[in-house]
Amino acid sequence: MSNKRILLIIGGGIAAYKCLELIRRLREQGVATRTVLTKAATHFVTPLSVGALSNEAVLTNLFNLNEEREIGHIRLSREADLIVVAPATADLLAKMAGGHANDLASTVLMATNKPVLAAPAMNPHMWLHPATQRNVAQLERDGVTIVGPDVGEMAERDEAGPGRLIEIPTLVETITTALAISPTRSGSNTSTSKKAKGSLAGRHVLITAGPTHEPIDPVRYIANRSSGKQGYAIAAAARDAGANVTLISGPVTLADPDDITVRHIETAQEMLEATKAALPADIAIFTAAVADWRVDGKTNSKIKKKKSGAPDLSLIENPDILKTVAKKRKGRPTLVIGFAAETDAVVKFGTKKLKAKGADWIVANDVSATTGIMGGDRNTVHLITSNGVEDWPDMAKEDVAKRIITQAAKTLSARIKAGSK
């Protein structure tokens, strides 16, 4: 386990609640966390909850006599191996860039001689404001590491854009990298982290896997039987080929693979936002069995049985994630691969999907109940490209994954070479 320590400065934004998960995950990595809450942050999280997770005193006031006697802001600023500011609000970034020191958080940041990492989170308009962009540019010149923000839906439901706090697993990975320690996964005592040298070394591979759950009411949802096994196997194969892998996973019972950034989602709309936030990528592989429909206007209360019979559910179409990415005009991955789970005329429907979605490849398979493929450990696939159809024999899903990644790496290399001429 690590003996590293960070000082976490929590800013006053709605994303502050995510820092509870950050502290818990860092503790799993053996990283001790001491925290400073800004005055505004105490409106979103309490010192009691933060202290319970960190097992450390939570500091809030520059002029608290007891805190100063026991720790002192100068000592506090220099005892940690790294200072992390999350969420870094527009106000905190402005104070940091301007050299202010009028509260405990800003004073510590001015007094430290240790590296500083800031994870911004704010409304998209605030993030894109020229003043914020100037402040961020100044901080980067000053040597502060800025991570994020992500793109997606904000607390204001009608707002979407850059401003979401970077996903906690990604932030944990960034922090452990800055601390020069090897990250471990939850429930694992050792790490298999290694910088692989392979056919995809230095490339980013984005993969979706598993089902999505579309809520009907608080206890019921629309779903499918996808286990996520094929997608997880492809993610592991890409990692072993040296790629940096982002795996966006629906609800499955599989453990997170080592050395892979995993982002867990529930619904198709969440998967779409997580996919957009994970771009750009060199290769995108969409194995997820995304629910085609969701309920229009789900209720917040359990639907009760009535003598008049079953309720009428109005369904609306979910976003087409594969098509959205494959038909991007700007920032499209070099290679986009979709999956087609069919029960009849597998190659015919897979070929139609290739054209309709704008993908480069479609991996089609027969998921009829008699095949045992959905939820099983083996697969029989047909690789459909503009050059024709390859019928692969029955294989373990891990072998299918390795073969897909081997051919994808060759295709990517050829396209990059062709584009450079």
Q: Please state, in angstroms and rounded to a whole number, the distance separating the CA atoms of residues 269 and 247.
A: 16
CATH topology of domain 204-420: Rossmann fold (3.40.50)
Higher pLDDT, 72 or 174: 174
pLDDT band of residue 61 (cuts 50, 70, 90) is confident
Please give the pLDDT value at position 211.
Answer: 94
Cβ pair 208, 271 in contact under 8 A: yes
pLDDT band of residue 186 (cuts 50, 70, 90) is very low
Token pair for 155 = 């607390």
pLDDT band of residue 360 (cuts 50, 70, 90) is very high
Supply the DSSP symbol for 362. E
Average pLDDT over every residue of 254-263: 89
279-295 per-position pLDDT tens digit:
989 999 999 999 999 99
> How many Cα atoms sit within 13 Å of 107 on the Cβ side?
17
Q: Please state, in angstroms and rounded to a whole number, the distance separating the CA atoms of residues 250 and 222.
A: 13
Percent of the chain with pLDDT over 70: 89
Residue reference for tokens 């904000």: 154
Across 121-125, 161-165, 295-299, 354-358, the highest mean pLDDT is recorded for 354-358
Residue 330: partners with Cβ closer than 8 Å, 6 or more residues away: none
Average pLDDT over every residue of 290-311: 84
pLDDT band of residue 315 (cuts 50, 70, 90) is very high
pLDDT of 376 strictly over 60: yes
Average pLDDT over every residue of 255-260: 89
Token pair for 191 = 């790490």
Cβ pair 58, 87 in contact under 8 A: no
pLDDT of 49 strictly over 70: yes
Please give the pLDDT value at position 326.
Answer: 96
Q: Please state, in angstroms and rounded to a whole number, the distance separating the CA atoms of residues 328 and 322.
A: 10
314-321 long-range contacts, CB within 8 A, separation 24+: 317/292, 317/293, 318/212, 318/214, 318/268, 318/269, 318/290, 318/291, 318/292, 318/293, 318/294, 319/268, 319/269, 319/272, 320/357, 321/208, 321/268, 321/271, 321/272, 321/275, 321/286, 321/288, 321/290
Average pLDDT over every residue of 154-159: 55
pLDDT band of residue 192 (cuts 50, 70, 90) is very low
Please give the pLDDT value at position 190.
Answer: 32
Q: Please tell me the pTM assigned to this model.
A: 0.56
pLDDT of 232 strictly over 80: yes
Average pLDDT over every residue of 109-125: 88
Token pair for 200 = 């995809």
CB atoms within 10 A of CB 107: 19
Residue reference for tokens 């398979």: 365
Please give the pLDDT value at position 187.
Answer: 37
pLDDT of 393 strictly over 70: yes
- Catalytic residue selected from 61, 113, 123, 224: 224
Q: Do domains 5-178 and 204-420 have the same CATH topology?
A: yes
Give the DSSP letter string of 93-137.
Answer: HHHHHHT--SSHHHHHHHH--S-EEEEE---HHHHHSHHHHHHHH
Higher pLDDT, 326 or 26: 326
| 220-222 vs 214-217, strand pairing mode | antiparallel
Average pLDDT over every residue of 335-358: 94
Please give the pLDDT value at position 334.
Answer: 95
pLDDT of 148 strictly over 60: yes
Cβ pair 384, 347 in contact under 8 A: yes
Average pLDDT over every residue of 269-275: 92
Cβ pair 377, 397 in contact under 8 A: yes
Q: Please state, in angstroms and rounded to a whole number, the distance separating the CA atoms of residues 397 and 394.
A: 9
| 58-59 vs 220-222, strand pairing mode | unpaired
> How many Cα atoms sit within 13 Å of 262 on the Cβ side?
23
CATH code reported for the domain at 5-178: 3.40.50.1950
Please give the pLDDT value at position 177.
Answer: 81
Average pLDDT over every residue of 311-330: 92
Q: Is 224 considered catalytic here?
A: yes
pLDDT of 421 strictly over 60: no
User: Three-class SS of residue 190?
Assistant: coil
pLDDT of 364 strictly over 90: yes
Mean pLDDT of the chain: 85
What phi, psi does 211 have (nearest 5°)?
Answer: -90, 175
123-128 long-range contacts, CB within 8 A, separation 24+: 123/154, 123/156, 123/159, 123/163, 124/154, 124/159, 124/160, 124/161, 124/162, 124/163, 125/159, 126/90, 126/163, 127/90, 127/161, 127/162, 127/163, 128/161, 128/162
Task: Point out the least confidently predicted range of 39-48, 250-259, 370-379.
Answer: 370-379
pLDDT band of residue 208 (cuts 50, 70, 90) is very high
Across 28-37, 186-195, 299-308, the highest mean pLDDT is recorded for 28-37
Q: Please state, in angstroms and rounded to a whole number, the distance separating the CA atoms of residues 355 and 200.
A: 27
Give the DSSP letter string of 136-173.
Answer: HHHHHHTT-EE---EEEE-SSTT-EEEEEPPPHHHHHH
Strand ranges (E), 14-124: 32-37, 58-59, 82-88, 116-120
Average pLDDT over every residue of 232-243: 94
Higher pLDDT, 113 or 383: 383
Radius of gyration of the chain from its Cα atoms, rounded to whole angstroms: 24
How do the domains of the chain map onto residue ranges? 5-178, 204-420
Residue reference for tokens 């490339």: 203
Cα 359 from chain centre = 23
